[in-house]
């Protein structure tokens, strides 16, 4: 009998990838499936970024690089933090990894001991709790609802912190809710964190530019600069530049922990792909017009989809602040549907009967909701809405 570690038995495969795979299987079997499960932009990677990669291949940038990233890419990241976020970092405070997922994974392994608590507001990106579990930490989930636009309050954060709390994770704009914290809301959370110096903070800014609140992007360090010595800013090029396949993410924070994360990476994957690093540098250093064009399209689709979803029976959808997801409540639709008692069963039914793939909210710690990705064309969205309309009647 082949024995598996307790570590791997504690986690589950990514449910969002599972939905995408299920949809692909049904499609391969000849079914007409609309996938609204995808966590990636539908746009092509911009040409100037691709060309930088081609140039990197041609000029022999095809060997190992420094584990923590090429000096040129790290410089581009430092400049980006200065330019866009007003944050100052030295090169030894930056680690480039194979995607934002690896950045968080390295962080969890670098700071958590068995039983250490990591506070994760729900709805959360599906991977945080499982990565904490791999590190043998304990995810402590704070629940929210549409009433607070899926954001936690300072009181909730205060109540969740214990002596064992090692990390607080915040993701704004959020996958899956699409909501962003305001500067004042972040300040209120920052005030709580100031009182608990043993708590480190991870701000996951992966969706930074995909925002339409009319206010500039801000993270918890902008709100509470006093947290600089224990905050990690996680970001990457996957979503902003439609570069999910290139696998480049980066982290910035206190040199001691960044160094520990680098040590872990040096014994697992080493450097991220050299060619992808050249492409990421071009993305960060180049014109940002391509980002604006994508965001404009996302906003149009968002506006359409929110309005359309609110016309469906049993579905309620808040307007989001950014990202390419909406996270409507299907509570009433679940009650009304035959033979269905929860969001997972309803998602299954909608996939089988309407040919629409959505991700059930329980995957994100918020049962009764569904995550719909609008990283797909307007025509496809319209067809999806009409199928859902029929199925929910
Ligand atoms: N953080 C959030 C909130 C995400 O939604 C994702 C991707 O889905 C990531 C991080 C990781 O992105 P990647 O590893 O593809 O760079």
Question: If you measure from the C-alpha of residue 206 to the centroid of ligand 1, how many angstroms do you get, rounded to a whole number?
Answer: 6
For residue 252, what pLDDT is reported?
98
| Total residues found in the chain within this entry | 393
Q: Is 252 helix (H, G, I), strand (E, B) or coil?
A: strand
Q: What is the pTM of this model?
A: 0.96
Ligand 1 proximity of 204 Cβ (cutoff 6 Å): yes
Tell whether the model's pLDDT for residue 18 goes beyond 80: no
Predicted confidence at residue 100, as pLDDT, reads 98
> Is any ligand 1 atom within 6 A of the Cβ of residue 101?
yes
Residue of higher predicted confidence among 9 and 138: 138
- Given this model, what pLDDT does residue 306 score? 98
Whether residue 238 has its Cβ less than 6 Å from ligand 1: yes
- Per-residue pLDDT of 58-105, as tens digits, reads 999 999 999 999 999 999 999 999 999 999 999 999 999 999 999 999
The string of pLDDT tens digits covering residues 23-69 is 889 999 999 999 998 888 999 999 999 999 999 999 999 999 999 99
Using the mean position of ligand 1's atoms as its centre, give its distance from the Cα of residue 33 in Å. 24
Nearest ligand 1 atom to the CA of 39 is 8
pLDDT above 90 for 21: no
**259-275 mean pLDDT:** 98
Q: Report CA(118)–ligand 1 centroid distance (Å).
A: 18
Residue 231 pLDDT grade (very low, low, confident, very high; cuts 50, 70, 90): very high
Cα(304) to centroid(ligand 1), Å: 25
Pocket test residue of 17, 40, 99, 126 for ligand 1, highest count of atoms within 8 A of CB: 99
* Residues of the chain above pLDDT 90, percent: 92
Q: pLDDT, tens digit, for every residue of 176-213?
A: 999 999 999 999 999 999 999 999 999 999 999 999 99
**Alpha carbon nearest to ligand 1 atom 7, residue:** 39
pLDDT of residue 303: 98
CA of 59 to the centre of ligand 1 (A): 30
- From the CA of 16, give the closest atom in ligand 1: 8
Could you tell me the end-to-end alpha-carbon distance of the chain, in angstroms, rounded to an integer? 50
For 13, the enclosing helix (H) or strand (E) is: none
Report the DSSP beta bridge partners of residue 249: 97, 236
Q: How far apart are CA 96 and CA 69, in angstroms?
A: 5
Q: Which atom of ligand 1 is nearest to the CA of 244?
A: 15
What spacing in Å lies between the alpha carbon of 2 and ligand 1's midpoint?
A: 32
What confidence tier does 22 reach under pLDDT thresholds 50, 70, 90?
confident
Structural domains in the chain plus CATH codes: 6-44+289-392 (3.90.1150.10), 63-285 (3.40.640.10)
Q: What is the pLDDT at residue 14?
A: 72
Q: Check pocket membership of 125 for ligand 1, CB cut-off 6 A.
A: yes
39 lines ligand 1 (CB under 6 A): yes
Instruction: Encode pLDDT of 233-249 as tens digits.
Output: 999 999 999 999 999 99
CA–CA separation, 95 and 77 (whole Å):
10
Residue 39 Cα to ligand 1 midpoint, Å, equals 8
ipTM of the complex: 0.99
């Amino acid at each position: 009998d082949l024995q598996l570690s307790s570590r791997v038995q504690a986690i589950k495969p990514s449910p969002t990838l599972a939905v995408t795979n299920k949809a692909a299987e049904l499609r391969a079997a000849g079914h007409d499936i609309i996938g609204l499960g995808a966590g990636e932009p539908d746009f092509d990677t911009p040409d100037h970024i691709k060309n930088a990669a081609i140039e990197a291949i041609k000029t022999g940038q095809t060997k190992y690089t420094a584990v923590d990233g090429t000096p040129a890419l790290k410089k581009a990241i430092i400049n980006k933090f200065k330019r866009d976020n007003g944050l100052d970092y030295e090169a030894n405070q930056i680690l480039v990894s194979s995607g934002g997922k690896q950045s968080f994974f390295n962080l969890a392994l670098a700071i958590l001991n068995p039983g250490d608590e990591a506070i994760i507001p729900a709805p959360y990106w599906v991977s945080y709790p499982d990565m904490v579990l791999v590190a043998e930490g304990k995810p402590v989930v704070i629940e929210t609802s549409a009433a607070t636009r899926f954001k936690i309050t300072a009181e909730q954060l205060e109540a969740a912190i214990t002596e064992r709390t090692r990390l607080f994770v915040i993701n704004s704009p959020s996958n899956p809710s699409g909501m962003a914290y305001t500067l004042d809301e972040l300040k209120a959370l920052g005030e709580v964190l100031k009182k608990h110096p043993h708590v480190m903070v991870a701000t996951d800014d992966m969706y930074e530019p995909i925002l339409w609140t009319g206010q500039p992007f801000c993270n918890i360090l902008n709100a509470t600069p006093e947290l600089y010595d224990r905050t990690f800013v996680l970001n990457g090029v996957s979503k902003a530049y439609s570069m999910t396949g290139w696998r480049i993410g980066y982290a910035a924070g206190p040199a001691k922990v960044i160094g520990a994360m680098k040590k872990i990476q040096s014994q697992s994957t080493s450097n991220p792909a050299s060619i992808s690093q050249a492409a990421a540098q071009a993305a960060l250093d180049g014109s940002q017009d391509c980002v604006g064009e994508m965001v404009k399209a996302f906003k149009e689709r968002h506006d359409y989809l929110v309005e359309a979803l609110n016309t469906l029976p049993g579905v309620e959808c808040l307007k989001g602040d950014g990202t390419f997801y909406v996270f409507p409540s299907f509570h009433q639709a679940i009650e009304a549907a035959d033979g269905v008692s929860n969001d997972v069963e309803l998602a299954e039914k909608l996939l089988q009967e309407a040919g629409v793939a959505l991700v059930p909210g329980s995957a994100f710690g918020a049962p009764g909701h569904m995550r719909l990705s609008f990283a797909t064309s307007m025509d496809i969205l319209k067809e999806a809405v009409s199928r859902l309309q029929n199925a929910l009647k």
